[in-house]
Amino acid sequence: MTRVILADRHARPAWAGHPLVFSGAIDRVEDGTPATGDEVDVTDLKGRFIGRGVWHQDSAVRVRIWRWTPGAIDADFIRRRVADAVALRRDVLKLPARTNAYRVIHGDGDRIPGVVCDVYGDWIVMQVTNRSAADRRQAIADAVLGATGAKGVWERAATSYAESEGFHPGGGRLAGEAAPETVDVTDDGVVWRVDLRGGPKTGHFIDQRENRAAFAPLCAGRSMIDVFAGTGGFGIAAAKLGGAVAVLAIDSSKPSLERLGENAAANGVSEIVTSRQGDAFEALRAMEAENIRVGAISVDPPRFASSRKELPGAVRGYHELNLRAMRLLEPGGILATSSCTGVLTDEEFETIVRDAAVDARRRVQVIRRGGQGGDHPWLTAVPESRYLKHLVARVL
């Protein structure tokens, strides 16, 4: 077996459990010349075994470590990892008793790098984002199908990742029966119609489950604006579960707002929830100019930056969104604000909210700090996998 020997100062993250070995961390390679896709053993300078991973000759991430014990990264190993992930959701979190829409594999958080699998009723939607996972996609799909008892596993192609990593993007039926185009799921009593083949992410924003549930009751008797509403997550939950008296959903995507309308009808809140298609920044500016005031606002934008180099623009965007939202809230209004930009830290996000409050000349009282749900676990060795930031505050 080829050995990848890490430079002394670069071995510590791998020892701690971080799966990424960058090219600059490697001191030398011994016992062979690996090709992309080959399994390799990772060791420190003293020859001590750290883990078994997969080599990628053309990637800055030269090795992705899959296991920290000797052995092959084969179908038996994958079945054990998948079974552990399923047990977390079923036996520890007990999610099937609460919802039939949840993440069952969350990449590095479940020690299955580059793989996400989401349960939607009787179906699994899967996506792979690196070469090592793509080479094992069939074994992973078979294992998930067997462990969950789902009817089928449908793959959503990850084209951009496939281009950068050099693998076939895939897509379509992987195991079991072919998935239907849409399926209705229930999450905390709210019905969602999920587009399995073309909806956002894998079909629905399931990572915000806990945050929607916490925010909804705070909207009782209030008018509410759902900014970057998508298919209606925060707004429909506020109307159905929280007792909001009026909800305006804003999004730039016509298909998303059409699905939002279907979701509102399915939950009996069509008379409460209205929508407006357009740019969120422009919509907030226009409402501020009209001197509109509401009792609650959710701001849940898409990722604004993929790297630290892109952060300055992202910070400006988040600052303006929170500033405009605060100005639209009546005294004592409730703000729920989120960021799914993984390269933005919690501290940086909270600084943005603080600075927006200063510029808005409002006092902001934080009453909840949230994040991704337990079905999106993160490892302490991989803090960047804790990507979702969420604050709920009273704007005084």
Q: Which of 374, 372, 380 is nearest to 87 (CA)?
A: 374
Dist. CA 394–CA 336, nearest whole Å? 9
- Residue for token pair 């979701």: 263
The contacts found for 54-61 with CB under 8 angstroms, 24 or more apart, are: 54/131, 54/132, 54/135, 55/2, 55/4, 56/130, 56/131, 56/132, 56/165, 58/166, 59/131, 59/165, 60/22, 60/23, 61/20, 61/21, 61/22, 61/130
Question: Which of these is catalytic: 128, 150, 340, 393?
Answer: 340
For β-strands 223-227 and 294-299, DSSP reports them as parallel
What is the token pair recorded at 324? 């405009």
What is the token pair recorded at 62? 């030269």
Residue 134 contacts residue 176 (beta carbons within 8 Å): no
Whether 340 sits among the annotated catalytic residues: the reply is yes
CA angle 249, 241, 301 (to 5 degrees): 35
The CA R_g of the chain, rounded to the nearest whole Å, is 22
Bridge partners (DSSP) listed for residue 296: 224, 334
Helix, strand, or coil here: 323?
helix
Task: List the 20-22 sheet strands across, edge first.
Answer: 20-22, 61-67, 49-55, 39-43, 3-6, 26-30
What is the token pair recorded at 11? 């071995």
Residue 394 contacts residue 329 (beta carbons within 8 Å): no
Instruction: Please give the DSSP secondary-structure letter assigned to residue 99.
Output: B
The H-or-E segment that residue 148 falls in is helix 137-148
Q: Which residues contact 87 (CB under 8 A, 6 or more apart)?
A: none
The catalytic residue positions are 340
